[in-house]
């Protein structure tokens, strides 16, 4: 996350931040909120989280992913300064072969089409939910781990605020 934030800040400083594209894989404490998410090729299965502490989690795979009005927050404790929140905003994000591991996901409305539910014989993955397309509105997710073949952001900007702060009510209210 620090590398991505540093690169994002460098682009902002040169006024070249209208579009940003990068590839990543990571495990960082963050909260992602979006006004709308559209996905094709959805597959969700329960499983165990990766890393030191294995907890129950949902593992999701999206072939093509798009999110609108996105805000990502991550709090870091800095020496002397204390808690600082990095907030990244994007008018839209798109990704290919995007996987996410999470135990916290909330949304105001969801639609799946065509949807399927398969039950597995393996106790570690008792079911798999699939859909050709998936749409969710007013989404909030706290990922534990994520990876993408590529991720592109349009209308990207960032700010850093002292303390533990969330996103404005709308990313468009962030003062860009």
pTM (2 decimals)? 0.72
- pLDDT tens, residue order, the chain (176 aa): 333 433 333 333 334 444 444 444 455 678 889 999 999 988 888 876 665 655 666 778 788 889 999 999 988 888 998 999 989 999 999 988 888 888 778 899 999 899 888 887 677 778 888 899 999 999 998 887 777 778 888 998 999 899 998 887 655 555 54
Contacts of 103 (CB under 8 A, 6+ apart): 49, 55, 56, 57, 58, 142, 144
Coil, helix or strand for 47? strand
Nearest CA-CA partner of 72 in 29, 134, 43: 29
Do the Cβ atoms of 6 and 158 come closer than 8 Å?
no
């Amino acid at each position: 996350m620090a590398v991505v934030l540093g690169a994002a800040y460098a682009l902002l400083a040169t006024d070249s931040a209208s579009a940003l594209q990068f590839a990543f894989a990571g495990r960082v404490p963050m909260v992602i909120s979006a006004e709308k998410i559209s996905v094709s090729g959805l597959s969700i299965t329960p499983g165990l989280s990766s890393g030191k502490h294995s907890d129950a989690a949902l593992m999701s795979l999206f072939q093509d992913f798009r999110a609108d009005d996105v805000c990502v927050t991550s709090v870091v404790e800095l020496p002397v300064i204390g808690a600082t929140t990095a907030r990244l905003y994007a008018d839209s994000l798109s990704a290919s072969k995007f996987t996410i591991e999470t135990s916290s996901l909330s949304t105001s409305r969801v639609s799946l089409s065509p949807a399927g539910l398969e039950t597995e014989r393996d106790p570690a993955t008792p079911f798999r939910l699939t859909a050709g397309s998936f749409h969710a509105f007013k989404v909030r997710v706290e990922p534990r781990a994520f990876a993408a073949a590529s991720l592109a952001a349009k209308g990207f900007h960032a700010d850093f605020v002292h303390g533990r702060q969330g996103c404005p009510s709308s990313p468009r209210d962030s003062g860009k």
